[in-house]
Structure 1
Amino acid sequence: MRRAEALARLEKAEWLARAAPFFACLDGASGATRAVGGIVRDTLLGIERTQTDLDLATTLLPNDVMARATAAGLGAHPTGIDHGTVTLVHGGMTAEVTTLRQDVETYGRHARVVFGSDWEADAARRDFTMNALYAGGDGTLFDPLGGLEDCLARRVRFIGDPAQRLAEDRLRVYRYFRFCASHGEQRFDPDALAACAAAAHDLSRLSAERVGQEMTRLLALPRIGNTLSAMIGIGLLAEGMDVAGAMGVFERYEHIDPEPALAARLGIILKNGLSADDLKTRWRLSSRLMREAEAILEAARCLLADRVNEVAYRWPEIKLHAVYLGAALGGKPDAWVERHVEILTQIDPPPFPLDGRDLKALGYAPGEALGAELARLKGMWIERGFVPDRAALLALAAPPQSNNS
């Protein structure tokens, strides 16, 4: 990407106007406050962002930030004031403002910090060179570590010694691979990969929730096959999973689903060795997400068993993802995919015409027998293409069993 084009995009960025109140009250014009990180990086790369928040770095002390923001009529919240972070809100935009700092001691995610005014020292404590890029309120780039070249080349490179960066926070092992997939075109720096491999055996102290957040963000990206292969190659992810079987499915799935789904990828993991409970615990996943993953996997299996009507009725929201996952699991050709997408797109099942009251009218008492007969009739109705109407279904209903002995 051309440097001049990227810098021009930054200077004209739409978010600068919305962020102007933050820069104005925090001496942005004098260089005391700059935007940093993702919003700067993605603007330079031309990546559209859906978030309305931004990170700001400032030489002002946290209490000064609070006082200035309050005087300017901005919402101000001391969300992490002991570590220099204040959250400001204005016009639907949120700014997390952090005073320049230097980590003087690090232990995992936590650090003892001192505040300062050295922009290069603040940049040096960050993870990747592409994340140590700053922008003033007028869109002028400030690049203390020369990270622009890496950013525009989509090269994910640790700042300084990769082993040191990983020692400061082991979660950066997972974060590195996520960034390689999202911003690095799945290319890997040899030094970074070697450092990740060396650290892979020492990740037990990471919280399941933090690992799960990184993994779900990774698994939701469009293209991740090479990244997963590299992670497995250094010993990540393989525990409890059929690696060889899973990789082939992952690669096939992402090349046929135009919008790969996180739940479908979790379904692949479930299919290849891990139970839903194990996966939920390992990554602290929500029950809702796990139910969706299990549903897509079940729907895909139904399609492979030629139960198309059942998928159309039970899983209308995920039916197309189930087609793509089913094709990946079953090694189906493109023609199979096209045919099932066409069929499922055309099927619009009506509501099931019976409910429990209909069977009660036939003499069924509330309970398991009623539920089982209703399920049997619904299965028959689905199998027959939703054709039997209410009267026909009632005629097919089995008479209730007598309770007399």
Structure 2
Amino acid sequence: MSEVPVLSDAPWLRSGPAARVLALLNGANEEARVVGGAVRNALMKIPIADIDIATSAVPEEVVRRARAAGIKSVPTGIEHGTVTLVVDGHPFEVTTLREDTETYGRKAKVAFGRDWVRDAERRDFTINGLSVDAAGVVHDHVGGLADIAARRVRFIGDPAARIAEDYLRILRFFRFHAAYAAGEPDRAGYLACIGGRAGLANLSAERIRMEMLKLVVAKGAEIAVTAMADGGLLLPIFGGVAYTGPFAAMISAEHLLGLEANAVRRLGALTVAVTEDAKRVAARLRLSNAEAKALDSMGHRWWRLAGMDEATARRRLYRLGEEPYRDRLMLAWARAGARHDTAWRALATLPQRWSAPKFPLRAADFVARGIAEGPALGHVLTLAEDAWLAADFPFDPSALTAIADQTAARFRRDHRL
């Protein structure tokens, strides 16, 4: 075991809700430490989300101490030793030290214990196997400190055995590599993921969706996704071809435009050539209705946006709306492979330079021209809007009068009114 004396840049250890939970659970022959991601992120000096706590105290003792201190406890996973304590509105998962006695998929039979080493050894990656006590001392039983220094994601113990315990660890290996590592994935872990890829079929679509949407927006997504494709891991996930070139081009375009990484947009670049692809991916990953709609919109005739002049682009933007226009345009750009092309960039930034106006003609304008209310009126309005777009959005009264007169006359002629 190696230690560093104090995790100095962790004010949440000294005061606040997390420090209060640690103080509650320490003492009277029990010990509590912060474990996992909070320790990893603090050491890597990146933002911390959740703070998870491990303790030698059994769940009943955790609940008893919380009740005595007036702290709410929720038995979120008490059969596996997890109790959630809510302090000042902040939830903390508190889990009793444990070891797996039998594993099957994402479930496991566990035995509670008091051995911090055994508890660390049952975790997935070395960088997640660190713990820090209330004094700030970092405890490393699995080599996590060296891997953080090397920016390396490595399985604890035998990679194949860890994957067989839970095949979701295949996706987590690449997601964590994309988020925290540098360079190529750890070789032993990578080969074990390829060897275990058939196990991906055992995972629920919801779990795969969650991991993949996080993976594609991580800072190292391009390397991780390419490695997955090279290892034959994307076909069983998406059920079709993965396009790593457009995926890389989409990342480049987002950076060039200063856009925040967007999971669905990147997923579209990786998986969608036609709308049938979008429907397949949405079904396989069980995307939300909004995600599925956005993906389908991206894939709908994206190739028609290539080589547009600005007048045509304005009409597309008007019809689609800002976000769907930009996402579809960026898919076309990514699939063209023109990473820094100024013409594509101008089309993509059109929403920043031009706001779509509101169609100025109304139903009353056509009722006054003898068009009866009902379906016919809606049809005439659609024809007039098409003519207004073709004329490049005029607002001059004489131009609008001409559009209204010509549209009404055309409708009457076509329908012999």
Q: TM-score, normalised by structure 1?
A: 0.88
What is the distance in 1 between the residues matched to 2:201 and 2:36? Answer: 28
Deviation string 1:144-196 (CA, Å, 9 cap, x unpaired) is 22311112221100000001100100111111111111111252111111111
SS at match of 1:96: strand
Partner of 2:337: 331
- Pairing 1:350–2:357 present: yes
Q: Does the 8 Å contact 2:35/2:52 carry over to 1?
A: yes
Partner of 1:363: 371
- Pairing 1:26–2:25 present: yes
What is the distance in 1 between the residues matched to 2:377 and 2:76? Answer: 55
Stretch of structure 1 that moved more, 305-314 or 161-170: 305-314
What is the distance in 2 between the residues matched to 1:194 and 1:55? Answer: 31
Change (3 A) 1:204 1:93: same
Task: Give the % identical residues.
Answer: 37
Q: How large is the Cα RMSD of the aligned pairs? A: 2.8
What is the distance in 1 between the residues matched to 2:293 and 2:307? Answer: 21
What is the distance in 1 between the residues matched to 2:315 and 2:416? Answer: 37
Q: How does 1:273-312 map to 2 (within 5 A)?
A: 275-298=277-300, 301=303, 303-304=305-306, 306=308, 307-312=312-317
Partner of 1:132: 129
- Which AA in structure 2 matches 1:46? K
- Residue 139 of structure 1 deviates from its aligned partner by 2.6
Q: Does the 8 Å contact 1:28/1:136 carry over to 2?
A: no
Change (3 A) 1:275 1:142: same
Q: Does the 8 Å contact 2:274/2:300 carry over to 1?
A: no
SS at match of 1:376: helix
- Which AA in structure 1 matches 2:317? A
Partner of 1:264: 265
Q: Does the 8 Å contact 1:299/1:315 carry over to 2?
A: no
What is the distance in 1 between the residues matched to 2:209 and 2:73? Answer: 30
What is the distance in 1 between the residues matched to 2:51 and 2:136? Answer: 14
SS at match of 2:57: coil
SS at match of 1:257: helix
SS at match of 1:145: coil
Change (3 A) 1:404 1:111: same
- Pairing 1:201–2:233 present: no
What is the distance in 2 between the residues matched to 1:102 and 1:364? Answer: 76
What is the distance in 2 between the residues matched to 1:28 and 1:139? Answer: 16
- Residue 38 of structure 1 deviates from its aligned partner by 0.9
What is the distance in 2 between the residues matched to 1:384 and 1:42? Answer: 56
Partner of 1:77: 74
- Which AA in structure 2 matches 1:373? V
- Which AA in structure 2 matches 1:194? L
- Give 4+ residue runs of structure 1 displaced > 4 Å after superposition: 28-31, 297-302, 318-323, 355-362, 399-405
- Which AA in structure 1 matches 2:96? T
Change (3 A) 1:30 1:308: farther
- Residue 379 of structure 1 deviates from its aligned partner by 3.4
Where does structure 2 lack aligned partners over 5 or more consecutive residues?
none
Change (3 A) 1:365 1:209: same
Change (3 A) 1:57 1:303: same
Q: How does 1:313-332 map to 2 (within 5 A)?
A: 313=318, 314-317=320-323, 319-332=325-338
Partner of 1:180: 177
What is the distance in 1 between the residues matched to 2:352 and 2:76? Answer: 48
Q: Does the 8 Å contact 1:241/1:274 carry over to 2?
A: no
Aligned residues: 395
Q: TM-score, normalised by structure 2?
A: 0.85
Change (3 A) 1:165 1:28: farther
What is the distance in 2 between the residues matched to 1:396 and 1:205? Answer: 62
What is the distance in 2 between the residues matched to 1:79 and 1:100? Answer: 16
Change (3 A) 1:212 1:384: same
Residue 51 of structure 2, aligned match among 43, 49, 54? 54
Deviation string 1:263-321 (CA, Å, 9 cap, x unpaired) is 21222212268533321221111111111223344495453252311343332235545
Stretch of structure 1 that moved more, 166-175 or 199-208: 199-208
Change (3 A) 1:366 1:195: same
- Residue 90 of structure 1 deviates from its aligned partner by 1.8
Residue 407 of structure 2, aligned match among 385, 397, 401? 397
